[in-house]
Structure 1
Amino acid sequence: MKQLLGVLGFLALAQGVLGLLHEFTRWHVGLVQRLGFLDGYELYASIALIVPAFALFAASGSRRPG
């Protein structure tokens, strides 16, 4: 469970950072800008991915091994 939380946290952080990179540099990377229902809200969605990523990392760190 600890590893799963870590992997999910990493994926959320990576997609959030890639979404911010797309917003500020217009590089076509990440998944957030490809979702049609987020048109106009890509920046907020990227930030909303970064915040739970840190919560997932914290939850992963607080779990006992095993």
Structure 2
Amino acid sequence: MKTLLGYLGSVLILGSATGLLSDHLGGFRLFGFVRFLVPAGHEMAGYVVLLALGVLLAIPAARQG
């Protein structure tokens, strides 16, 4: 279960970070599925929330080793 949380947290961190960069720089989307998790018009706040959620999911997995 801890490895699943670690993988999910990593995917959310990477996806939201690339979403923030894509929104800010206007580039392509590497992890395009993350935009379906964020409501239209609230991309920046949604990506920040997903980034925080990814960190919160990855912390317990990192603590357990």
> Percent identity, aligned pairs only?
24
Superposition deviation, residue 52 in structure 1: 1.0
Gap runs ≥5 in structure 2:
none
Secondary structure class of the residue paired with 1:57: helix
Q: Which has the larger radius of gyration?
A: 1
Alignment match, 1:59: 60
Return the alpha-carbon distance in structure 2 between the equivalents of residues 55 and 46 of structure 1: 14
Give the root-mean-square deviation of aligned CA atoms.
1.8
Gaps of 5+ in 1: none
Amino acid at match of 1:10: S
> TM-score of the superposition, structure 1-length normalised?
0.77
How many residue pairs match? The answer is 62
Q: Give the TM-score taking structure 2 as reference length.
A: 0.78
Q: After the TM superposition, list the runs of 4 or more consecutive aligned residues in structure 1 that deviate by more than 2 angstroms.
A: 30-33
SS at match of 2:12: helix
